[in-house]
Structures are given as C-alpha cells and as structure tokens.
Structure 1
Amino acid sequence: MDLQSDHLETLIKRFQQRRPLRTGSLIITVFGDAIVPRGGTVWLGSLIELLAPMGVNQRLVRTSVFRLTREGWLIAEKVGRRSYYGLTGAGRRRFEKAFKRVYSGGQPAWDGAWTLVILNQLDADRRRDVRQELEWMGFGAFAPTVLAHPGVDRAELNASLQELGALDDVILFQTDTVDQFATRPLRRLVREAWNLDQLAEGYRDFLDQFRPLWNQMRKERTLPPRECFLARTLLIHEYRKLLLRDPLLPDELLPADWEGRAARQLARNLYRLTGQGAETWISQHAETAQGPLPEAGDGFYQRFGGLD
C-alpha cells in the first residue's frame, strides 16, 4: 500500500501480523469511533472499503459482521440487494458504556470515599459472573470476595447488578472520606489489586507505537484523508483496548510517573490532528440507504475535552 507516512505503514503492518486478527474488534472500533456519531448505520460495502487498507478482506468483514449480528451487537436492514447495518438497542448501550471512557476529558476530583461490594452470598457461578462484570467496570479485588472502587457511578453499578440479577444478593458499602487519601499501604494494595505494573507496560508499548506518528504530524500538520482515517482508527483501536483494562483510578492513588497520563495526552493530541481528515474520508467513502452519512453531532466535538 502506497502511504505518505512510513510510521503509519509500520502501524498497519504490525496490526496485520497479529494472530488471530480479531476483525470483529476492529469493526467495533470503527462503529464506535466513526459510524455511531454519524447516524449509527452504514452499508456493508462501505465497511469493506474502509477496512481494506488494513489488510482485512471482504470475507473476513462479512463473517465478522454476521457474528456481531448473531451476538446482538448489530441489526441488518435489506434495501434491494444491499445490506445496511446499525446498532441494536443493547448494542448501543454497550457501545456507550465502553466508549465514554475512551473520549473522556479527564478524571473528576476524588473525595477519598470508596464503594465496596461483598460477594459472599453468591454461589460460585454467579460470583464469577458478577466479579467479571465489576472488574470490567474498574473494580479491584481487595480480598477474594471483596471488590472496591474509588469513584464508581452508583446508578451504573446498580443497573449492572440488576441486569445480572444480583442486586438483592450482594452487600454494598460506601466509606466515608478520610483525611489521608493514599497512604503507603493503600498505594501498595492498589498496585496489587489492579495489577498496575502490567497496565503500565501496555501504556509504554502504546506510546512507543504512536509517538513517531505524532512527531511526524506535529511537524507536517496533516496527512491525506485516507491516512488520517487509518491513523485515527488504529489509535482508538489500541487505546480502547488499554482503557477497557484501566480502572481509571484517581491521581492520588497512582504513581507520580503514571504512563496512562502520557498515553491520554498523546491519544488526545493525535486524535485532534487526524480528526478533520478522517471525517473527510468517511464522508467520501461511507453511506447509508439515504446517501452519505449525516454530519457528526455536537457530542462528537466534545471528545477528549473538545476538538477543534
């Protein structure tokens, strides 16, 4: 593939070399980043065209879209011989839950309080399911049946527990604010409960991957629209995977040199530089049954604390 940016070409080759390729995950990234803000529905042929430069062939796209439809993420609509795909209601809720972490402008101030969830009253199977969901929400294990979070949305927590049929069977505690937010023993417990060392390694790898492209774009200021779309998609694809593992702890609980801060700054800066070109490419190469995708709404321009 003939690209102006050697750094982008390196990123694409690295993606193509992964096994398994996980095309479904890439399609989720494209939907969440590019399609949902612009109406949420797209022609299958557009998806195939958008993903072709990534080395994802037509068969893989069709198979992955079929699987996402079967799993309840997407719903298909036939218009003539063409198939158009949009999110199901459940799929949209999952997307919003996952992607709001990615584009947040920053962490709210922490008041020193903790939410604790006690799982002793659940049988082994339900305990496993609830623990898995809570860990996805950013909870860490302070003990085998005690999970904790320093800033969870209680309404979101209650809704998730209700969905799992566990709201009436777990014990919830909310601690009071303490004078010392992060003593040395608490910092050690946090590092172990959330495996921060492994997450930091992932962030360092992300920074090593995308800093060369950022440095190039900072000097040249622009890339062709196609390359902006590819760069933005890979950026969010890799960053999203890290954010889903990151509990997004308050600064008071994190190391002073926490790599996640630099990664968020890099993601924000590179997203801003690639944003306009990527949107131009999407407008030219993605369509619905009514024609080109509608323009993105105001919510899109609030990503990462505000886009130009």
Structure 2
Amino acid sequence: MLSLIGGSHRRTLGGRALADGIQNETYAISNSVGAENWKVRLLEGLSIRAASLIVTIYGDIVVPRGGVLWMGTLIEVCVRFGISETHVRTAVSRLVGSGRLIGEREGRRSYYRLAEAAKEEFDTAARLLFQPVPDPEGWIMYQASHLEEETIRQQHLGRIGENLYIRPNHAHLPLTMAITFHCDLIQGQTEMVTLAPTLWPLAVYAEEYRDLIVRFGPVLDHLLTHPYAPEVDCVFVRLLLVHRYRHVLLADPLLPTDVLPEDWPGRQARDLFAQLYVILSRRAERQIADTFEGRYTRLPETTSQARDRLDFLRCSSSPTAHQAGVVEKAQTVSETLNITP
C-alpha cells in the first residue's frame, strides 16, 4: 500500500532533485501503510474551501462532459476531501447566487450545471491549465487613479508609481477602463529582474510551486514504477493536483521568462503537472464513467474536449534531456493503464 511519510529524502523528477532550495518538509514513498494515510498526507497543511473545490470539480470533470452533475455525486466527491454535506450544499447555494451555477430539479433529485455567464471564466482557466502559455507580447501600463483592489488582483497589476500600474501583456487578460499603454522593455533587463519581486509576491508563488512539487512528486515516482497501484484514488489525486496547481497558476502574473530567476520552480511544477495528470487520467476517467451521474445518465469516460486537454499536456511540457525519458515513460504508463492486469 502507498503512503507518504515525512522525511528528508530528496525526491527526483527526471534526474533533477525536486527539493532543491526547499526548506519545508519533503515526503518519501512507503509501501507499508494504508491508502487513507497517504491521502491524509497529501491533504496535510491544506485548507480547502468547498466552493473552490466545487469549481475545480466542474472545471476539470463536469464541463468537458456536458456540464451537468447530480448533487449526490458532488457530495460524495467532496466528502473524500473532508468537506461535509452541509458545507457542500451551502457552497452550491452561494455559487448559484453568484451566477456561476444553475440548479435544476427532477423529482427529488437536484442537478447543477455551469451558467452561461461563467463559461468565459472557466474557459480561460482551462486554457492556462492545459494549453501552453506563451510569453507575453510586451507590457501593458495603466494610468488610473481609482482602481479597485479586486481589479488590481485580477489584472495582476504591479504598482510602479502613483496611479501607475504595469503587467505582462497576456491575451487572456482583458484591458481595464483606464489610460492604457502598450510598451516594451528596451533596456534595464537586470534591473527589471530585481524590481519584479517588489511589484509581485514572487516568493509566495515560488513557495507554492515548490510545495506542489514536493507534495505530488512522490506520487508520480510511485506510479511510474507501480502503474497499477490499486491504493491510488486517481480521481481524488487528479482533482487535488488540479486544485493546487490552478490556485497558484491563476494568481501568478506569468512574467516573461527573461524576468524570472533561472531557478524559477514554475517550470518544473508545470512539467510535473502535465506528466502526472496524463498518467492519472486513464484510470480516473474510468472511475468518472463508473460513478459520476449527470442529468440522464452517467458522465462519459471521455469526450473530444477531454482528449484535447490530454493531447495539449503531452505536448506542452518542455523536458530537458534528463527529463525526456520520464515524459516518454509517463505516456507509456498512461497507455498501459488501459489494460486490466
């Protein structure tokens, strides 16, 4: 059986130490303790809000498969994360109230689907998670005197002067109502590398990426060597992986590569996310087809949208020569998992 045991081992991904520069506790694989123990260790130190997890469930599983889910299934999934039925129902009510979900009833059963108004938000998050994110095309600069804090957060704005803000020019971020400039950095590259951490909390994002690597790296290692591991709840692990990666990715301003430190852990976190998601998906999708109930039938094992996501992930990681073997093995294991031993 699989467990995650605290220790000082340096885990590796494709020949590189996962814990380089990481001061917090790392984890090692053991085959001697039950499945519930490793599930507890994966959740250790995390505070998962019901509404946020429900958004992850819909974004990762439900939306690509028709967009409708029975409330009973939603409760069953959330309970595996330690969230009570009461908290799930309260969170769903709030998501309905905020216009992100729409409820439907059939007899005594309640079903919820994604609202049209929320589709753009979910589509943007899915593109960032599953498709390659190109470097921004220069920078956007705003001159504005009354920007709300929520706008500053959503736009990933760094304040460089009184009423003056800057952010990378990414296509997925809409322009805000302000005097707007499109500009390029023509000199001062070294100074910009030094300035960036004062404009955005890069140390916070780096630590969250490192936590993702330390938390999930042993799971990837284990599945590469034990592809049939029955103790691994692939739906649970994949949802938690998406939930944690989505949390930091949507907060990250996604600065140009030449502005980031050479050891920026976001690149390694991206590779781990892509590889582990692909490996988990074959068994996870069979579990989804067996247990997730939609409006009229169970959700399908896969769809063209779900397959596209996997194809993008297989192509999006940019492995080093050391990692190339791991990527190839990850894809081989994913195919192997389609065969019942």
Counterpart mapping for 1:148-227 below 5 A: 148-153=166-171, 156-158=173-175, 161=176, 167=177, 170-176=178-184, 178=186, 180=187, 183-224=189-230, 227=233
**Worse-superposed segment, 13-22 or 82-91:** 13-22
> Structure 1-normalised TM-score?
0.83
**What residue ranges of structure 1 are gaps of 5+ in the alignment?**
162-166
| TM-superposition CA deviations, 1:127-183 (whole Å, max 9, x none) | 225xx2243233322224222122222x8423xx3xxxxx2xx100011463x5x61
| TM-superposition CA deviations, 1:212-264 (whole Å, max 9, x none) | 11111111124449711011011011111111221111211111110111111
> Structure 2-normalised TM-score?
0.76
Measured in 1, the distance between the counterparts of 2:158 and 2:118 equals: 26
1:270 and 2:276 are equivalent in the alignment: yes
Aligned-pair CA distance for 1:30:
0.7
1:301 and 2:319 are equivalent in the alignment: no
Check the 8 A contact 1:116/1:174 in 2, yes or no: yes
Question: 1:47 matched to which residue of 2?
Answer: 74
Question: 2:2 matched to which residue of 1?
Answer: 5
Counterpart mapping for 1:223-262 below 5 A: 223-224=229-230, 227-262=233-268
Cα pair distance change 1:21/1:241, threshold 3 Å: closer
Check the 8 A contact 1:43/1:288 in 2, yes or no: yes
C-alpha RMSD of matched pairs (Å): 2.4
**What residue ranges of structure 2 are gaps of 5+ in the alignment?**
5-34, 315-330, 332-341
Cα pair distance change 1:209/1:94, threshold 3 Å: same
Question: 1:164 matched to which residue of 2?
Answer: none
Question: 1:285 matched to which residue of 2?
Answer: 291
Check the 8 A contact 2:209/2:248 in 1, yes or no: yes
Count of aligned pairs between the two proteins: 284
Question: 2:324 matched to which residue of 1?
Answer: none
1:139 to 125, 150, 157: 157
Q: Which amino acid aligns with 2:56?
A: T
Measured in 1, the distance between the counterparts of 2:290 and 2:229 equals: 16
| TM-superposition CA deviations, 1:14-37 (whole Å, max 9, x none) | 576668641111111111111111
Aligned-pair CA distance for 1:81:
0.9
Measured in 2, the distance between the counterparts of 1:80 and 1:142 equals: 57
Where 1:54 maps in the other structure, the secondary structure is coil
Check the 8 A contact 1:232/1:278 in 2, yes or no: yes
Q: Which amino acid aligns with 2:2?
A: S
**Higher RCO, 1 vs 2 (CA within 8 Å, ≥6 residues apart):** 1
1:90 and 2:101 are equivalent in the alignment: no
Measured in 1, the distance between the counterparts of 2:308 and 2:165 equals: 32
1:78 and 2:105 are equivalent in the alignment: yes
Cα pair distance change 1:146/1:276, threshold 3 Å: same
Measured in 2, the distance between the counterparts of 1:89 and 1:40 equals: 11
Measured in 2, the distance between the counterparts of 1:187 and 1:177 equals: 12
1:118 and 2:143 are equivalent in the alignment: yes
Measured in 2, the distance between the counterparts of 1:17 and 1:196 equals: 23
Check the 8 A contact 1:224/1:277 in 2, yes or no: no
Measured in 2, the distance between the counterparts of 1:83 and 1:226 equals: 30
Cα pair distance change 1:144/1:26, threshold 3 Å: farther
- Which one has the bigger helix percentage? 1
